[in-house]
Amino acid sequence: MTSSQLIDLRSDTVTKPSAGMREAMAKAQVGDDVYGEDPTINSLEERVAKLFGKEAALFCPSGSLANQLCIRMLVAAGEELITETNSHIVRAELGAGAVFSGITTRTWLAPRGLLSADDALNIARPDSGPYLVSTTAIAVENTHNFGGGTVQSIGEIKKLRQESEKLGIKLHLDGARIWNAHIASGVEFIEYGKYFDTVSVCLSKGLGAPVGSLMLSTKERVAKARQWRKRYGGGMRQAGILAAAGHYALDNNLPLLKVDHVRAKSIASAVAAVAPKVIDPATVDTNIVGLELNSLKISASELSSQLKEKGVLASALGPKYLRLVTHLDLTDGDVEEVNQILAQLLQRALVP
C-alpha cells in the first residue's frame, strides 16, 4: 500500500497545503524578516496579536520554539515553571526549557489534562527564599493534546489568573490548538488571551499550514524574544511565503475545524459501540480521539500495527494509549472506513 492510500490519523500536522493555500503562498509579498521587512509576516504578527488582544507577536518556525521563547521571557534560570504532567512543554520538547533556559519544572497530574486552578495553586511556591526553587510561571495547555484534545474551563482559567496574580506568578498559554478550543467552546480568542502573559499558537496543526507558529505578549517581551529567536537560529528571511499560508488558514480553514470535531466524535462513537470501556464519546471535545486499551489484552502498538495493515495510521503514545487525530485532509469516506476497521479490530480484541 503506498502512503497516498493510507488514512493518516497520527496527527493533524500531517496535512498538506491545499491548492488555494499554495496559490496564496506563491503570490505572497516578501522581504527580509530578520530586518523586519517582510510585509506578510508583519501583517500576520499584527493580525494574530490583535486577535488575542496582545501588543505584539513573533512568527516562529515551530510551536516548540514559540513555547520556549514565551517561557524564557517569564522564568529566569534557576526558577521553575509548573504545569500538568502530560503537557507538551514538559513531555514533548525534549527538555528545552532546562537545556536552553535553565528552567526547572514540577508538575501536577490531572485526569484528561483538565485544569483545576487548585491543582496548580497547591504546588505553586513563589518567593521560596534562598534554599528552595521559586515558582515564577504556570503553563496551561488548551486544548490539551495528550489529555485527548480536551478544552479547559474558562472558569478555572479565570480563577487561576486571579489567584496567581496575587502570588506574583505569571501565566503562559500553550495554545497550539487554541483554535479548536475556541470552535468547541465558543469562547473568544481575546477572552483566552486576557488571562495569560504569553501565548503560543500553531498554524501547522488543524489549520493546515505547512509551517508556522507565533508567540504573543507585550511589545517588550516580544522584542526580547526576537533576539532570542535569532540566537536560537530561528531568524528567517523571505518567510512571508509561510506567513501567507497562515493568513490563508485563518481566512479559510478556521471554520472547518468543526468538521474535524464531528468526525472525531463519530470515530469515538464507532469505537464505543463495540468497546465502551475504550472511550466515552462524551469526553471527545475536539479533534483528538484517545483510546484507552487497559480493558483489552491488545497493546497500543499491536493495535497500531493491525490498523496499519488495513491502511490506517495512528499514534501509540503509551503502552495502552492510542491516539487518532482528525484533520483537513480527510474525507467522509475515510472516516467511515476507519470506523469499520476499528470496530472490526476491537471486536476481535474483545474475544478472550
Ligand X SMILES: *Cc1c(COP(=O)(O)O)cnc(C)c1O
Binding site for ligand X (CB under 6 A): 62-64, 67, 88, 141, 145, 174, 176, 202, 204-205, 213
Q: How far is the CB of 214 from ligand X (least distance, A)?
A: 11
- Residue number with CB closer to ligand X (67 or 304): 67
- Shortest-Cβ-distance residue relative to ligand X: 63
CA distance 132 to 80: 10
Q: How far is the CB of 257 from ligand X (least distance, A)?
A: 14
What amino acid is encoded at 137 in this protein?
A
Q: How far is the CB of 181 from ligand X (least distance, A)?
A: 11
Q: How far is the CB of 132 from ligand X (least distance, A)?
A: 29
Answer for the pair 208, 253: CB distance below 8 angstroms, yes or no.
Answer: yes
Answer for the pair 289, 346: CB distance below 8 angstroms, yes or no.
Answer: no
- Residue number with CB closer to ligand X (134 or 149): 149
- Residue number with CB closer to ligand X (67 or 150): 67
Answer for the pair 306, 314: CB distance below 8 angstroms, yes or no.
Answer: no
Task: State how far Cα 320 lies from the chain centre.
Answer: 22
**Strands 321-325 and 7-8, how do they pair?**
unpaired
Helices (H), 95-153: 96-101, 117-123
Q: How far is the CB of 145 from ligand X (least distance, A)?
A: 4
Nearest by Cα to 203 from 243, 237, 232: 243
Answer for the pair 326, 9: CB distance below 8 angstroms, yes or no.
Answer: yes
Cell of 113: 489534562
- Residue number with CB closer to ligand X (112 or 310): 112
Q: How far is the CB of 25 from ligand X (least distance, A)?
A: 18
- Residue number with CB closer to ligand X (33 or 174): 174
Residue 140 Cα distances to 131, 164, 170, 193, 199, angstroms: 27, 13, 11, 12, 10
- Residue number with CB closer to ligand X (64 or 164): 64
